[in-house]
Chains A and B, each alone.
Chain A
Amino acid sequence: MCLAIPGKILDIDRASQPLMGKVSFGGIQKQICLELTPNAAIGEYVIVHVGFAISKMDETEALETLKLIKEIENFGDKLDPPNPEK
């Protein structure tokens, strides 16, 4: 029910009320309401739920989440040398 998926903004219709735009989800395109993410620009990613963009994807944070695992891993290894039996 709260399913929301990332899509890429292809086009924004600045004249529309509420603000609408064309968003691509891995090739499938849909008209999406952008009224709640007024700062999102063409080419950027938004998270879409029931036809509404509810947030603009934060690219830096997205990369951080994936980077974190490496950092914890290295840190963890230092603290706790791997068990030779593993």
Chain B
Amino acid sequence: MKYIDEYRNGEIAGKYLELISRITTRPWRIMEICGGQTHNIMKSGLEELLPKNITLLHGPGCPVCVTPIEMIDKAIAIAARPEVIFTSFGDMLRVPGSQKDLLTVKASGGDVRIVYSPLDAVRIAVQNPNKNIVFFGVGFETTAPANAMAVWQAKKLGLKNFSILCSHVLVPPAIEALLESSLNSIQGFLAAGHVCTVMGYEEYIPIASRYKCPIVVTGFEPVDILQGIYMAVKQLEENRYEVENQYTRSVKKEGNLAAKKIITDVFEVVDRKWRGIGEIPHSGFKLRKDYIVYDAEKIYHSININVQESPLCIAGRVLQGINKPHECTAYGSLCTPEHPLGAPMVSSEGACAAYYRYRSISFKEQP
């Protein structure tokens, strides 16, 4: 496919690998923040092909993985109600709550439906006036304009039977939280290309200079990722701490203004809890007052939640780049994609699942 195949070109990737090893004189630890990039790094075997002194840390950038267990439990409780049609992106269905997952609710008769777009959930609400449609509004900034647009559209249509369970998270406050941690060992970041497609990268500039940490906005294909690593290593080797943009074919400095407008019309910034990390100030979105009647948490507030994470799961340390997935004692034995103990094993973009699926497949074996 155009704009994909050329960025998977093994020959160009090989040249970048060579360039990276040519300029690397010291060990560097670089974190890719986005789970989509983690997935592609593992799938293409890049981690094993990079020079030994470059360590890639896999960040918390998978909204599926960082959605708090209480929120999953809330979703499950709402989805089990007979008057509700619960709609969600497919990857949320198998995320374990404290007792079960959404798929189990569906199997025992709950009306849980996978949608491709949040606008599909609005359509279901129009078609089912006697049911209450709840959409599981998870995601990073990338997904925020789509989810905002669905709420905006519901209001425009005057729908009384549509709401969203909003669990939106934001990347820059998470980067700051990681850099602030006393355990931090991250020296450079690859910022998520699609998050920045929406938001631009102005917010990252003060972070890069304050923490002396280069941030390179990076795309998702192997050539993009290697070019992003090359740019980050080059900055580190030259003692530069700037924000650079590798993914120029999609990302503009100011982002997508139409997308940012719909986001600020519908959402406002709020403190959010991240699964495995804890509460991060100003790291999420909630609905603004004007849209509060579409807030499923307000509508179904009586639902009581008690929470227990598996004591074996070290997802928090994995999501912060302190431990690698295979360093968890449950990895691959008690915890597998079929029987996940923690969220990073559920989503194909979670670091644990990406390791489980792809580790030891080499780049050269890729078609």
Residues of A with Cβ closer than 8 Å to B? 1-6, 8, 18, 25-26, 30, 33, 35-38, 45, 47, 49-52, 54-55, 57-59, 61-62, 64-66, 68-69, 72-73, 76, 80
Contact = CB atoms under 8 A, between A and B. Distances in A.
A4 B57 CA distance: 22
A57 B258 contact: no
Contact of B197 (A4, A30, A50): A4
19 contacts: A1-B36, A1-B347, A2-B142, A5-B4, A6-B2, A18-B149, A30-B116, A33-B117, A33-B149, A45-B3, A50-B116, A51-B117, A51-B118, A54-B198, A58-B250, A65-B223, A66-B223, A69-B16, A69-B223
A50 B349 CA distance: 16
Nearest 5 A/B pairs, CB to CB: A51-B117, A61-B248, A62-B249, A6-B3, A26-B1
Interface of B: 1-4, 6-7, 12, 15-16, 19, 22, 34-36, 61-64, 89, 91, 116-120, 138-140, 142-143, 145-146, 149, 153, 192, 194-195, 197-198, 223-224, 227, 246, 248-252, 256, 258-259, 262, 347, 349
Given A1-B36, A50-B146, 19 more contacts: A1-B349, A2-B143, A6-B3, A18-B119, A33-B117, A33-B146, A35-B258, A49-B143, A50-B116, A51-B117, A52-B145, A55-B197, A55-B250, A57-B249, A57-B250, A58-B249, A69-B227, A73-B19, A76-B19
B3 A57 contact: yes
A37 B16 contact: no
B61 to A, nearest CB: 8
Nearest to A80: B22
B89 A50 contact: yes
Contacts of A3: 36
Contacts of B1: 5-6, 25-26
- The secondary-structure label for the interface of chain A is mixed
B248 A64 contact: yes
Contact of A47 (B7, B16, B91, B194): B194
B146 A51 contact: yes
Contacts of B4: 5-6
A37 to B, nearest CB: 7
A48 to B, nearest CB: 10
Contact of B117 (A35, A38, A50): A50
A50 B198 contact: no
A80 B19 CA distance: 11
A64 B6 CA distance: 12
Contacts of A18: 119, 149, 153
A2 B153 contact: no
B259 A65 contact: no
A54 B224 CA distance: 19
Nearest to B192: A2
A37 B146 CA distance: 12
Contact of B91 (A1, A51, A61, A80): A1
B22 A1 contact: no
Contacts of B22: 76, 80
A36 B145 contact: yes
Contacts of A4: 142, 194, 197
B198 to A, nearest CB: 6
A52 B198 CA distance: 11
Nearest to B156: A17
Contacts of A64: 248
Contacts of A55: 197, 250-252, 256
A72 B22 CA distance: 12
B250 A69 contact: no
Contacts of B145: 36, 52, 54
B249 A2 contact: no
Contacts of B116: 30, 50-51
Contacts of B197: 4, 47, 54-55
Contacts of A65: 7, 223-224, 227, 246, 248-249
Contact of B15 (A26, A35, A38, A73): A73
A38 B143 CA distance: 18
